[in-house]
Structure 1
C-alpha cells in the first residue's frame, strides 16, 4: 500500500493511491470496490477515473461493472484539479473544534452535506469552502463521512491531504466512534445489536433496505428512556452504510419518529393533548442527532472526544413526551 502525500494540496496536485483488493471484496464490481478502498473520493469520481484509465486494477483498465476476484492491485494516479463548480457560500453550521489539520463541524438539520441532484449549491461543502478556501482542493471539502439532510450533529473534515489519508483510513478501519441519539416509535424493551445486510431497495432507488446480498452492517442500540408510545435510544455505528440507522430500526419495527420514508406512522400515546398531537405530527424530520465523536488526532494521535447538544426541536420533543408520561403516571 502506498500514497503520494502532496501535503495541503493545490490545484494540479498529483494524487497516487495503491491498494490491494482484499478477499472480502471478491465478486464486487470494480466501482463499488474502489469506493470501499478509497472512501475519500465519491463513487462518481472513481467511476469517471475508471473510464478515463486513471484508475486501474493490475495496471489494466476495467469497466466499472467488471467483477473482481480479489488480490488485484488497485492504482489511482490522477491530477486533482479544483472543482470550479464548488463556490464559497454562506451556510449555517457550527464548529466544535478547529486546527490546521482537522475540523469538527456541527451540522444543523435541513442542511445538505454536499452538492448533488436537486441540491447544486448552498450545501455544507459550500459553507466549508467559504470558511476555509483551501478546502476547495480536497474531495468533498475534506469531509470523510456524511449525514442525511434531516439529521443534525457532528461531522469530521480533514484540512489537508495528509489528514485526509489518516482519517479516511481510520474510518475504514472502524476505529472512529460515532454515537447518535434518537427517538423511535414504540416502546423498546432493551438494547440490542442489529446485524443485517443493507442494499438498495429494488422498488425505490432512493431508499435502502435490509436485503440478502447487501453490504454487511452492524448498529449497536442502547435504551436511554421509555415513554408511553416512544423510546429514546443511543445508536452506535459499527459500519457506515447509507441510511443505516434508519433502515435497521425500521427493519425491527421501531422506525425513527418523523421518518416517513422508513415507516414512521405518527404513533400517538392514548389520550394525548392537542398540543402533543400537533408537536408529534409536525415533527417533519427523522428524530436523529449525531451527538458524539471519538477519534485520534491525525497528526499526533492524541485521543479526542466531542459532544454536541441536541438541537432545540429535538429537546422540545423529548420534553413533551416526558411531560406526557409524567402526567399519566
Structure 2
C-alpha cells in the first residue's frame, strides 16, 4: 500500500477559510416539515455549515438571529413545509482567535514543524459551536507567530474524539510543503482502531463519501460523493471485536468511520456510526458488553506519522503509544477471550 493521508484531514479542494458570515434564507422542505423549529433550523444549517450545535441554534432563535417567516419564534414552535427560515450571524474570523493556556503534548518541534499528540475530546480549530478551547487556541498560546499563517499552520485535522499525531506548520515554507505532501500522498499516516465484529485478515473499501442526505451531521457512502479508498489489516482477533491498522488513499471527513461501518465493522464507541445491539452481542458476557456500551468515543488513534522535512528534505517518523482508554479496552477484550476459552475447556 502507498503512503496515505489522514482520516480526518480537510479535503484538499475544500481548504478555505471558515466564512465570517453564516447566512441562511431557505424554505422548509416536506421531509423536514412537522418538526420543532430548532431541529428544522439545525438540519437546514447543517446542509451548508459543519459544527453547529443544537444549543447554538436555540441561542440564535432566542435572541432573534434566526427567524421563522420573518418573525421571532420559540424553539419548540412547529415548522411546516413552505415556512421560511432566515439567519445571518457573524462568525469569529481567524484573526480573532484567542491564545489560551491549554496543555499540549509536543513530541517534536523545530523552527519549521510542531508535532502534537492530540488527546481525545479536543477540537482542532475554532468553528461555530466551538469558538475556543481548541488545539488552535493552544497552539497560538505556545507560539503567537502562528497567527501569521493561514489557519494558524493547521494543514490537516483529527476529529474531536480521535486521538493521536498531528503536524502543524510553523512557517509558510513548511505549510506549503506539507499541503503538497498531503496532495501527493507522500505524507504517511497509520491508524489503530477497534471494530465490532472480525473482518478477514485484510481488505479494502473503495466507495465515494459525501454528506448523508438523511442525517446532515453524518457522512455516508453516497452516489456522487468524493472518491475514497481505505485499506485495513487485522492485527489481533478477539471473540467479538478486532484490532486493526488502517491506511487511506484519500482524506475525506470521517473516512475510516464511514468506510468501516459500510463494510459491516463499525468502530467501537462511535457515536454516529455504530449501533451497540443485535446479533453481534449474543453470547457476550455482561462485563464486556457493559464495557463496550460505555466506551465514550470512537476507538480510533493516529498512531504513526511519516513525512519529508520541509527544509532538510530528510524523512522523519513519529509514533504515539495508545492512550489509556484504548489500552483498557484491549485488556477487557483479552480478559473476555480468556474467560471464554476457560469456559469451553471446562465444558
Bin of the TM-score, shorter chain as denominator length: 0.7 to 0.9
Q: Which has the higher contact order (CA 8 A, sep 6+)?
A: 2
Corresponding position of 2:329: 317
Corresponding position of 1:192: 203
Q: 1:154 to 1:269 in 2, by over 3 A?
A: farther
Corresponding position of 2:237: 226
Q: Deviations over 1:72-108 (max 9, x none)?
A: xxxxxxxxxx933211112233111100000111000
> How far off is 1:205 after superposition?
1.8
The answer to whether residue 291 in structure 2 is matched with residue 279 in structure 1 is yes
Corresponding position of 2:133: 122
Corresponding position of 1:180: 191
The answer to whether residue 283 in structure 2 is matched with residue 270 in structure 1 is yes
**Structure 1 SS opposite 2:310:** coil
What is the correspondence of 1:196-207 to structure 2 with a 5 Å cutoff?
196-207=207-218
> How far off is 1:318 after superposition?
0.5
- Name the CA distance, whole Å, in 2 between partners of 1:227 and 1:163: 42
Q: Deviations over 1:32-60 (max 9, x none)?
A: xxx74573x43648x9xxxxxxxxxxxxx
The answer to whether residue 55 in structure 2 is matched with residue 42 in structure 1 is no
**Structure 1 SS opposite 2:216:** strand
What is the correspondence of 1:1-329 to structure 2 with a 5 Å cutoff?
36-37=12-13, 39=15, 41-42=16-17, 44=19, 83-265=94-276, 268=281, 270-274=283-287, 276-329=288-341
Q: 1:139 to 1:201 in 2, by over 3 A?
A: same
**Structure 2 SS opposite 1:328:** helix
In the alignment of these two chains, the number of paired residues is: 260
**Structure 1 SS opposite 2:290:** helix
> How far off is 1:176 after superposition?
0.5
Q: 1:280 to 1:36 in 2, by over 3 A?
A: closer
- Name the CA distance, whole Å, in 2 between partners of 1:114 and 1:259: 21
- Name the CA distance, whole Å, in 1 between partners of 2:120 and 2:235: 22
| Length-normalised TM-score, structure 2 | 0.71
> How far off is 1:175 after superposition?
0.9
Q: Deviations over 1:88-140 (max 9, x none)?
A: 11223311110000011100000000111111101000001111111111122
Structure 1 alignment gaps of length 5 or more:
1-34, 48-64, 66-81
> How far off is 1:260 after superposition?
3.0
- Name the CA distance, whole Å, in 2 between partners of 1:251 and 1:111: 26
Structure 2 alignment gaps of length 5 or more:
1-10, 23-47, 49-92, 342-347
CA RMSD of aligned residues (A): 2.1
**Structure 2 SS opposite 1:97:** strand
- Name the CA distance, whole Å, in 1 between partners of 2:152 and 2:310: 16
> How far off is 1:158 after superposition?
0.4
CA contact 2:94–2:151 (8 Å) conserved in 1: no
**Structure 2 SS opposite 1:167:** helix
- Name the CA distance, whole Å, in 1 between partners of 2:170 and 2:152: 8
| Length-normalised TM-score, structure 1 | 0.75
- Name the CA distance, whole Å, in 2 between partners of 1:271 and 1:318: 16
- Name the CA distance, whole Å, in 2 between partners of 1:287 and 1:90: 28
CA contact 1:185–1:264 (8 Å) conserved in 2: no
- Name the CA distance, whole Å, in 1 between partners of 2:13 and 2:201: 35
